[in-house]
């Protein structure tokens, strides 16, 4: 994989050119893209032409992949939906412009599941092409995992950043709700859709988030302090495989051995209900956000999304308003809870990447945190007996993203140390 | 003007056809559109063709105008910006679909100021064509005021629904933040942009809001109870003209005489600051939401919007985050304040519609309520010595839209009674 921070430092030091980074990407793409299918569109020539002119800017002319639900003028933007093949928006999404303003190069658009739903696309997992890379940000996670690009943007409504990051063994960062604007992104659920980032490691996604938002989020300038970590199993723990359960418990022990204060936390009952609220809020909003597609292009929708919207039609506004009210309450309780710990440690997904491409896995261990708007980080470094990555998740307090990133970095380093022994 | 509710009742009773309503609109358009310039696109033929087939649906085939910052597949959508002339989105905005699903007919697109900013467009005020109709929902307010359409949708980020409604002498309703989805609307500020409605009277906008959101918002089925009203001048009261100050105080007396409990309320100081937060939040977000237009089409932007974005570039994320935090606090204080009264009475604008078309008036008396996400209603019925409308505003508690609409209706009826005497 390509570390964005490492590349940026070498470019800053003058020992590497942005153009040379484009060639690294081009080589990986030539070697693996035919098998993996991470991109819907690429512009290597354009990147070669302009990369070096961006070397002095914060993102140093680094190539970036953009999930195809983000509007781009220079690339077709089909939102993963056949009815929109070849569509060209008339403006770039806000975060695409943020990448440009920071001196990043848009190398290409990455595969999204259909309209960022659970309806799978064809991308394969670079760790094992017989397995799904997860979704909905399938191409962004796979492109980073295959070293085809050092950074990629995605989005999460249920678990669409953390899950594919876990399945592909890369760092994934879903910021606090609205830390990054969703302007110019095809909406699935306006209360939940969150922009996120993929990179080789935690420092890389923190670096990219800092440069594209202008916020103090870099964590590479000093070694992170040992955090306090609450191990949270949630009532869904039995849905995690034994391998995943063991991975999370092992991560807790390794973190503790590296100096973290590790406690166990049982969530109050309100959070069990909250997972149901997620589905109500998401689907009620999707029925409205995707009204045109549902009413006018229903024959072109895949069966999973189509059935989801069929069911969504029956969710009353009363149930939706009730779910929204209870969500606000759950957020308050969560803020109080997070006064006692820096971060939570919990699974990123129920499992390693499932076999086959007919489904993208389940957002079981993501929906609650997305609903709460909390920052989430997938920490790579553990593997299952078959060599597939097992991602563990660090969850922080709303708007305390830097603390979550630093804690994730601490754990990542500890896992890397432990792997060496 | 055309009362949507009255027309819907007559269609329901079988004494009027939707097609006949289209003809009423066509007549008003033929008589006044050349002078007023409320529409950017019209499809009378399409409306004639399908209107009667919608008679059994909740909106009864009524024609609706849509502000041209809402995406529509069937009409060009230029967001009031010359660079986007002739643009055709590939899907309809969520509220456009909500109108269709409820059985409304999209009659045409109405003029917006440039990208819904303070940069004026050419629409004239139907009450006096030498005056501005206000902005940014200029065409929607003017089209309803001229009887060219019974209902029109607009949006408000500062005062873009309530102010033009006041200037044009129609009912304007800005719902609680996110009661209506903004999906498919050109973003100016994602924390503030709010969909709103224009109609002949308060019952009409309540009827339209109920039918397009599926919420219990109709207030026409029984006479509204007399509300408790707090007269709030705010520290900006000196910015209101003597005519406007007199209008608001007169409205308070008339409401009291009609049975309302009227008190006076001085807002805590936090709300004085909050008006500054509005500008910080709005402009910081606009610099990101309109990044493509600012970076790629700057030469085509009008001078007012261009200067606003120039200044916005200097707003740091720290100031923005601070404004967002303080806004959350102000919302909590506001919720506590609103436990003591049903609604607030305050000016809709500083004045009657200013003379000339070079500016759209000021959002002085709107920004605070938009920031708080509170439901706002412009109540028409008072006029200044020159015969121009003077709008007074009812502001409710967040998510208590029906109470605000009912109180506005009570005041509207009392003003109408008083005008007869």
* Span B92-107, pLDDT tens digits: 999 999 999 999 999 9
With a cut of 90, say whether residue A413 has pLDDT above it: yes
pLDDT average, residue stretch A123-147: 98
With a cut of 90, say whether residue A217 has pLDDT above it: yes
Backbone Cα Rg of chain B: 20
CB contact under 8 A, B288 and A98: yes
CB contact under 8 A, A94 and B183: no
A186 catalytic? Reply is no
Above pLDDT 70, what percent of chain B?
A: 100
Residues 6+ apart with CB under 8 A from B299: none
Angle at B391 between CA B385 and CA B393, to 5 degrees: 145
B89: closest chain A residue by CA? A89
d(CA A160, CA A118): 9
Chain A residues with CB inside 8 Å of B101's CB? 291, 295
What tokens does A255 get? 């973190």
* In the block, residue with structure tokens 């045409």: B108
d(CA A360, CA B319): 40
Above pLDDT 90, what percent of chain A?
A: 98
Nearest to B293 among A91, A100, A182 (CB): A91
Query: Going edge to edge, which strands form the sheet with A343-347?
Result: A39-42, A105-110, A63-67, A151-156, A194-199, A171-174, A376-383, A389-395, A343-347, A228-232, A261-265
Chain B residues with CB inside 8 Å of A157's CB? none
Q: Is the ipTM above a cut-off of 0.90?
A: yes
pLDDT in tens, B319-355: 999 999 999 999 999 999 999 999 999 999 999 999 9
With a cut of 90, say whether residue A421 has pLDDT above it: no
Report how many Cβ contacts below 8 Å link chain A to chain B.
Answer: 79
pLDDT average, residue stretch B209-215: 97
Nearest Cα neighbor of B355 from B326, B386, B332, B314 is B386
How many helices and strands (H and E) does chain A possess?
A: 14, 11
pLDDT in tens, A193-206: 999 999 999 999 99
pLDDT in tens, A221-234: 998 999 999 999 99
Mean pLDDT of chain A: 97
* In the block, residue with structure tokens 């100021």: B113
Q: How far is A92 from chain B (nearest CA, A)?
A: 6
B176 catalytic? Reply is no
CB contact under 8 A, B291 and A317: no
Catalytic residue among B67, B109, B174, B402: B67
Instruction: Determine contact: A313 vs chain B, CB below 8 A.
Output: no
pLDDT in tens, A365-411: 999 999 999 999 999 999 999 999 999 999 999 999 999 999 999 99
B130, B143, B145, B356, B360 from B122: Cα distances, Å: 11, 13, 16, 10, 10
Instruction: Determine contact: A181 vs chain B, CB below 8 A.
Output: yes
CB contact under 8 A, A94 and B289: yes
In a 10 Å sphere around its CB, with 0-12 CB exposed, 13-18 middle and 19+ buried, how is residue A284 labelled? Answer: buried
Neighbours of B183 (CB within 10 A): 26
pLDDT in tens, A18-61: 999 999 999 999 999 999 999 999 999 999 999 999 999 999 99
A213: closest chain B residue by CA? B317
Q: How far is B195 from chain A (nearest CA, A)?
A: 14
Phi-psi region of A93 (alpha: psi -120 to 50; beta: other; left: phi over 0): beta
Find the DSSP H helices in A269-400. 270-289, 291-296, 303-312, 317-337, 367-372
- pLDDT confidence of B421, banded at 50, 70, 90? confident
CB contact under 8 A, B288 and A90: no
Q: How far is B147 from chain A (nearest CA, A)?
A: 29
Nearest Cα neighbor of A189 from A370, A412, A48 is A370
Angle at B19 between CA B18 and CA B20, to 5 degrees: 90
pLDDT in tens, B182-197: 999 999 999 999 999 9
With a cut of 90, say whether residue B115 has pLDDT above it: yes
Chain A residues with CB inside 8 Å of B73's CB? 292
Instruction: Determine contact: A178 vs chain B, CB below 8 A.
Output: yes
Nearest to B187 among A92, A183, A288 (CB): A183
- pLDDT confidence of A166, banded at 50, 70, 90? very high
Catalytic residue among B137, B138, B140, B160: B160
SS3 B64: strand
Q: How far is A172 from chain B (nearest CA, A)?
A: 23
User: What is the CATH number assigned to the segment(s) B4-213?
Assistant: 3.90.1300.10
pLDDT in tens, B360-417: 999 999 999 999 999 999 999 999 999 999 999 999 999 999 999 999 999 999 999 9
A348 catalytic? Reply is no
pLDDT in tens, B251-281: 999 999 999 999 999 999 999 988 899 999 9
Cβ atoms of residues B227 and B75 within 8 Å:
no
- Output the pLDDT for position B262: 98
Mean pLDDT of chain B: 97
What residues are paired with A347 via a beta bridge?
Answer: A392
Nearest to B94 among A84, A184, A289 (CB): A289
pLDDT average, residue stretch B136-155: 98
């Amino acid at each position: 994989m390509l570390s964005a921070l490492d590349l940026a430092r070498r470019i800053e030091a003058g020992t590497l050119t942005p153009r040379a980074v484009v060639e690294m990407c081009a080589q990986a793409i030539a070697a693996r893209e035919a098998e993996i299918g991470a991109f819907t569109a690429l512009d290597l020539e354009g990147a070669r032409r302009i990369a070096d002119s961006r070397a002095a800017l914060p993102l140093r002319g680094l190539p970036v992949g953009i999930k195809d639900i983000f509007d781009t003028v220079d690339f077709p933007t089909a939102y993963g939906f056949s009815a929109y093949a070849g569509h060209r928006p008339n403006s770039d999404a806000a975060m695409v412009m943020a990448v440009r303003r920071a001196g990043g190069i848009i190398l290409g658009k990455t595969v999204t599941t259909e309209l960022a739903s659970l309806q799978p696309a064809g991308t394969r997992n670079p760790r094992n092409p017989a397995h799904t890379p997860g979704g909905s940000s399938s191409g962004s996670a796979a492109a980073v995992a295959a070293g085809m690009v050092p950074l990629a943007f995605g989005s999460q409504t249920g678990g669409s950043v953390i899950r594919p990051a876990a399945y592909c063994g890369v760092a994934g960062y879903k910021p606090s709700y609205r830390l990054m604007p969703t302007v110019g992104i095809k909406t699935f659920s306006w209360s939940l859709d969150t922009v996120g980032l993929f990179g080789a490691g935690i420092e890389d996604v923190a670096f990219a988030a800092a440069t594209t938002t202008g916020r103090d989020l870099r964590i590479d300038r000093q070694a992170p302090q040992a955090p306090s970590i609450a191990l949270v199993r949630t009532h869904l723990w039995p849905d995690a495989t034994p391998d995943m359960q063991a991975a999370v418990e092992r991560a807790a022990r390794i973190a503790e051995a590296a100096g973290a204060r590790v406690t166990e936390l049982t969530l109050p009952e309100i959070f069990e209900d909250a997972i149901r609220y997620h589905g109500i809020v998401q689907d009620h909003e999707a029925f409205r956000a995707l009204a045109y597609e549902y009413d006018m292009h229903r024959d072109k929708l895949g069966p999973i999304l189509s059935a989801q919207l069929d069911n969504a039609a029956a969710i009353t506004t009363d149930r939706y308003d009730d779910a929204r009210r209870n969500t606000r309450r759950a957020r308050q309780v969560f803020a109080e809870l997070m006064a006692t710990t820096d971060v939570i440690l919990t699974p990123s997904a129920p499992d390693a990447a499932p076999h086959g491409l007919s489904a993208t896995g389940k957002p079981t261990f993501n929906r609650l945190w997305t609903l709460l708007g909390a920052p989430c980080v997938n920490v790579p470094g553990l593997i299952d007996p078959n060599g597939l990555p097992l991602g563990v998740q660090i969850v922080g307090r709303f708007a305390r993203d830097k603390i979550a990133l630093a804690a994730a970095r601490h754990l990542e380093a500890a896992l890397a140390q432990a792997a060496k022994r």
